[in-house]
Amino acid sequence: MQSTTITYSVKDKLKDYAALSKFTLSFTVVFSCVVCYLIAPKVVLYDWGMIVLLFVAGMFVTGSANAINQAAEKHTDALMKRTASRPVAAGRMSVTEAYTFAAVTGIIGVIMMWYFFNLSSALLSAFSLFIYAFIYTPLKTKNSVAVLVGAFPGALPCLIGWVAGQDDFSVGGWILFGIQFLWQFPHFWAIAWVAHGDYSKAGFKLLPSDKGPTTFTAVQSIMYSVLMIPVGLLPAYFHMAGSASMWILLACNLFMVIQSIRLYKEMNAKAARRVMFSSYIYLPIVLLALLADKVH
């Protein structure tokens, strides 16, 4: 009976560490990094050992940033329904334990990037972690410019993956960075629109208007969705993509514009959810389309 209790406590602790690192979110972030690594011309597509190493290092770095975020936002997380059950907010894990986890995983992840890939990707990883954890996180309760600041560490995984594979800061990496950078604005504003009530309780200022979900937010979403169209054509212009993926990117970008226009017309949470879910679909389709061109 005693061993069963111990087994369950270990299992629960592991679940808490997975929640602390926001495993699902970290996985999607690292997915972008790995795909952009594979897109890099110098990379051998099916070197699974290097792919696994990049994935593990990325999960460590991203998990570290998320752990710092939860430790710093213990009290605000406790105020929101969707985050109140997180291990630090719920009191199942101390702030000290969360920071210790973050320090260990962050250091290991950066060292892995340096040892197995290159110094540039390691420094970029450390820089991304720093901006997310120590600039974006505290800024969320101060000013809506936090979304702009957060878009940099949000897009850096694409550049990190490219630099890890290509070992330089050539134009392809910046194009991939630009695609994910612009994508984040309609994506995060849609999330902030849907969760506005919860975010307001915690004092987060994530919408462009201090009056909450307004037409200004919808217009901003349209603007950034439109900006995604010319940036989406750059891979073809710089010979990173063929005609097939170019048309896929154009279709995806137009789809995001349409969903943002629908948000402007309808001005409700249902339309915001459509933008949010469209953005979830957009990114993997675009990145995998670019990767498919390299495979062929």
Position 83 scores a pLDDT of: 86
Q: How far is CA 233 from CA 28, 242, 280, 285, in A?
A: 24, 10, 20, 15
Nearest to residue 151, comparing CAs of 186, 100, 107? 186
CATH of the domain at 116: 1.10.357.140
Position 40 scores a pLDDT of: 94
**Overall residue count recorded for the chain in this entry:** 296
pLDDT tens-place string over residues 234-267: 999 998 888 888 899 999 999 999 999 999 999 9
Position 296 scores a pLDDT of: 64
Note the helical H segments in 238-268.
243-266
Most confidently predicted of 23-27, 100-104, 189-193, 237-241: 100-104
Same domain, 136 and 34: yes
Which residues span the domain enclosing 188? 170-296
Position 9 scores a pLDDT of: 80
Mean pLDDT of the region 283-296: 87
Same domain, 198 and 150: no
Same domain, 130 and 9: yes
**pLDDT at residue 130 is higher than 80:** yes
- Mean residue pLDDT of the chain comes to 91
Nearest to residue 42, comparing CAs of 179, 173, 224, 223? 173
Same domain, 107 and 253: no
Same domain, 105 and 240: no
Mean pLDDT of the region 201-223: 85
Q: Which amino acid is at 13?
A: K
Mean pLDDT of the region 103-126: 97
**pLDDT at residue 45 is higher than 80:** no
The dihedral built from the CA positions of residue 102, 103, 108 and 110, taken in this order, carries a sign that is positive
Q: Final residue of a domain: which of 138, 167, 196?
A: 167
Q: Which residue, chain included where needed, has tokens 């960075």?
A: 177
Nearest to residue 187, comparing CAs of 272, 279, 285? 279
Give Dmax over CA atoms of the chain in angstroms. 66
Say how many domains are in the chain.
2
Cβ atoms < 10 Å from Cβ of 108: 15
**pLDDT at residue 5 is higher than 90:** no
pLDDT tens-place string over residues 166-183: 999 999 999 999 999 999
